[in-house]
Structure 1
């Protein structure tokens, strides 16, 4: 009996010591990281915040990775020192991405790459997703990326080499590869471009279907009205180092725009059609329209008066279903058209 008991104990010890039976600790797949990170979309920003009641950028990353038993430093600058450097062209889901010069010099913002050029991070507008390559605020501030060894790398299928595209040449001012001659807004886009009121992207791209940020909207209005940039900082989330600070402060001083909340402008947030109506009404001193709106989704809306004014002035129109969609975002082509009509009304 004793001998049999000893044999059973030895067998248990051998099994528990077998590395093939061990569970790998602190391991997560890139998809698990990004899936968990996306759960916090919309969480409000809080300076020094480290919990779902409010995050700052580095606190958000720390919270996400800690869920998988991965401990990282507290600040974005310190987080940039860990892991292995990754080139922008080799980014994978779960990589940490970093930015410089957002509110101070050096590494000052961090996020998590979620694929297709997008990253998620805690910004002044809350936890949101933005594009590394096309976002006018984040793209020029991108600094680098780091990959943590604790995150399992899923093998990437080997694909056939893709032929390198032929580099395009810059077109004359006002012409864009993605705004064809027959585009419905080609005249307005060309006109504003030649007046330096609106600009495109590298290699003569306009990206007419991209949404317009509140920072871009203010900048375009400031240029259209030839307002002189104002250096003073009017909003807590628009530091003097922000690329659009001077124009945002100028249109605010002129009484054209307001913040989305006390002391906050939300420069990276997408502007809505209602907000555009209010901006155009203030910027171009449109006459108030007392007639009741014909749009079924505008009655009682906070911007009803402004929407009535821009539609009565033929600056904007509604949709075939009888709606104006005041809370929908406007594209770059639409905004260019609205501003062009206002200038030439």
Structure 2
């Protein structure tokens, strides 16, 4: 023996609308943000490339050199920025930033060849670290490591 529950289509429609209104008012959708922090997005994009190999003159995930990585990340990230190809040319753009004022996505520069001459660039990743294409591939590195600390030249903010 079957019993039928008598509920009108009108009542079901009203309950559905009220449920949807409640969900959109108090649910996760109301907490969404349309603001993008481009510096954080650049740093996150750089992190996805950790493990990519080093390649002299490389500009793609098949192999990067230092400035090839930064150029690729800035173009690939939400910033969609075109920055110069070499670390020396990248050092000429943007606004100088003190080391204690670094933000995610800032470019950090080092002299890894001739003393005092920019020859390496990487992307600041927070907590005193950067992501860069070292001779051992794309890695996350502590700026306080002796090698890097001794060769630090400066930083630039190219994201407005």
Say whether residues 1:94 and 2:97 are aligned partners.
Answer: no
Show the counterpart of 2:45. Answer: 36
Show the counterpart of 1:103. Answer: 113
Say whether residues 1:145 and 2:146 are aligned partners.
Answer: no
Cα offset for 1:103? 2.7
The aligned runs of 1:57-136 (5 Å cut-off) are 57-67=66-76, 68-100=79-111, 102-105=112-115, 106-133=117-144, 135-136=145-146
Deviations 1:3-33 (Å, cap 9, x if unpaired)? Answer: xxxxxxxxxxxxxxxxxxxxxxxx7521111
In the alignment of these two chains, the number of paired residues is 122
SS in 2 for 1:93: coil
Contact 2:39 2:159 in 1 (8 A): no
Cα offset for 1:146? 0.2
Runs of 5+ consecutive residues of structure 2 not aligned to the other structure: 1-35
Show the counterpart of 1:246. Answer: none
- Report the Cα distance in structure 2 between the residues aligned to 1:104 and 1:40, rounded to whole angstroms: 28
TM-score normalized by the length of structure 2: 0.73
The higher radius of gyration belongs to: 1
SS in 1 for 2:110: strand
TM-score normalized by the length of structure 1: 0.34
- Runs (4+) of structure 1 exceeding 3 A deviation are none
Say whether residues 1:51 and 2:35 are aligned partners.
Answer: no
Deviations 1:193-248 (Å, cap 9, x if unpaired)? Answer: xxxxxxxxxxxxxxxxxxxxxxxxxxxxxxxxxxxxxxxxxxxxxxxxxxxxxxxx
More strand by share: 2
- Report the Cα distance in structure 1 between the residues aligned to 2:75 and 2:40, rounded to whole angstroms: 16
Cα offset for 1:129? 1.0
- Report the Cα distance in structure 2 between the residues aligned to 1:39 and 1:104, rounded to whole angstroms: 31
Which one scores higher on RCO, CA 8 angstroms, separation ≥ 6?
2
- Report the Cα distance in structure 1 between the residues aligned to 2:131 and 2:94, rounded to whole angstroms: 19
The aligned runs of 1:315-330 (5 Å cut-off) are none
SS in 1 for 2:70: helix
- Report the Cα distance in structure 2 between the residues aligned to 1:103 and 1:40, rounded to whole angstroms: 24
More helix by share: 2
